[in-house]
Structures are given as C-alpha cells and as structure tokens.
Amino acid sequence: MKRKLKYDPNKVWLIVYILALIIPLGALVVVQKYVVPSMTYEKAITFNVDIPENTLLTNEYLIENIVVRDYLKSNVSQDVFKPVYFDDGTLDISLLVGYETKNFIPQGAPLHHSYFGDPKLVLNQSEGESVAAIPREYIISAPGSMRKKDEVLFYPVMVDKEILKAEQNQTESLNEDGISEVNKNVPLMDNYNVVPSGDPIGESVVYSIKDGQNREVLSTKGEGSTGNIASIEVVNRDNLMGVLADYYNKGYKFIICYR
C-alpha cells in the first residue's frame, strides 16, 4: 500500500522562500562576474614598472615588464594598445617592439600610441626585418654625430692595400703578452679623408649606437655615453646585410652618411 504524501503548506512556502532568495543571488553573482565586466571594463596593455623617457622597447624589455590589466571603458580610448594573443594563449608583443617612449610613463598606466615617438625602429617581421651590427671591417668612415633613429646611406669605396694596412694599424694593438688584439675603444668614425661619390647601394635606420664600453651613445649627457662611436646596429631590411657582404667580398668598404 502506497503511502500518501501529506501536503504541508508551511513547507511549500519555506521552499518557495528559499528559492526566491537563491535564484536572485545566483543571478546577481553571474551578472557581477561575467556581464558587468564585459560591459564596463576593457583589457589594455601596461607595464609593471615605471618607464623612463626615451626608453626603447626591446623584445627582452617587454617580456620582463609587460602585463595586461582591466580598465574602466571610460578610461580606455581607441588609441590604447590592446592585447593580441597567439593560438596558444601567449601575448603577442611584436606590435610594441621598436617603439620609444616620448615621456615618462607611470607604472600601471594603459599604453597609448601617443605616448611613443615615430616608430622608425619597429621591425616588420613578416618582411624578414631584423637588427644587425655593421662589422667594423666594413666601415671606412662615418660621422661621429650619427645617433639612433638616423636614416643612413651606404656608399661603396674600392679599398687598396695601403688603406687596409692603415686600418689594421689603427684598430689593433698589443696586449700585455705581446699578442695583437682589436682595440674596441678606437672609434670607427672619420678614419680616412674620403668623400662619398655615386649612388648609395643601401639605406637603413640606425637601431643602436654604442661606445667601446657597450653604452648607448647619446646626444646629451645622461645614463648613456656621449663618447666615440665603436659599433653601429641598423635595421636589416631589403637584404641590406647581404648586399653589403657581396660588395665587401669584392674589395669594397663603405662610407656611412646620414640624413
């Protein structure tokens, strides 16, 4: 014999009362966690440290300091760098590589395009662009006033044995053991009294200028150096380094000019 359930109106109202409390609370949690953020917040790229003025954003610098945070949409303009992710979920930082800050940027501030100068140094990786150091032995002469972001031109000059000998005497010295070694503190600039002629065989943008102690050479006093230029790095585009190597192997060296 089946037992009949006894109807208890008090229990029914208790269940209804509990459900009336749980359902709105659950809906409120869902709205606050998923709906409200998507309507009021937006993700943007920022840094976890203060960024000084004239800081060049290299790949290594970005890996160490870049973060993504949520900001109120009212504080995020269309000018802000927004995160782009690869298929594996890692952040694509290539959009920022090569930019240089125009002013100091405080920690946590969303990054606007207007915070950065003309992105001459942004590498177009889809076109195979990279950063390359110009070998010391390639260079005959270059102006000592040349600095980062200058547009440079390469003029080929056929080099004879006398010039090669003079260059060797200028760039080599004996160490304490009497062994010949390259003196990195000897500047590359203005080694010979030569002037360019004809058309340049290549052009690029200076990515970095270093002295013999591997410090960035600046136009004014600061954390870098204002001394002699010992090495030059440029953006390798349009197979520039391949063209320079071909000319060098045929007996040419280069006068570097900038504009």
Q: Residue 52 phi/psi, 5° resolution?
A: -70, 165
Instruction: Give the per-residue pLDDT at 129.
Output: 79
What is each CA distance from 7 to 10, 11, 20, 150, 166, in whole angstroms?
9, 9, 21, 89, 111
| CATH number for the segment(s) 8-122 | 3.90.1210.10
pLDDT, tens digit, for every residue of 41-89?
788 899 999 988 888 887 788 888 999 988 887 777 778 888 888 888 8
Average pLDDT over residues 166-185: 48
Start and end residues for every CATH 3.90.1210.10 domain found in the chain: 8-122
Instruction: Give the per-residue pLDDT at 146.
Output: 85
Strand pairing category for 231-236 and 202-210? antiparallel
pLDDT, tens digit, for every residue of 205-245?
888 888 777 777 776 444 444 457 778 888 888 889 999 99
What is each CA distance from 202 to 28, 131, 191, 241, 245, in whole angstroms?
64, 15, 21, 9, 12
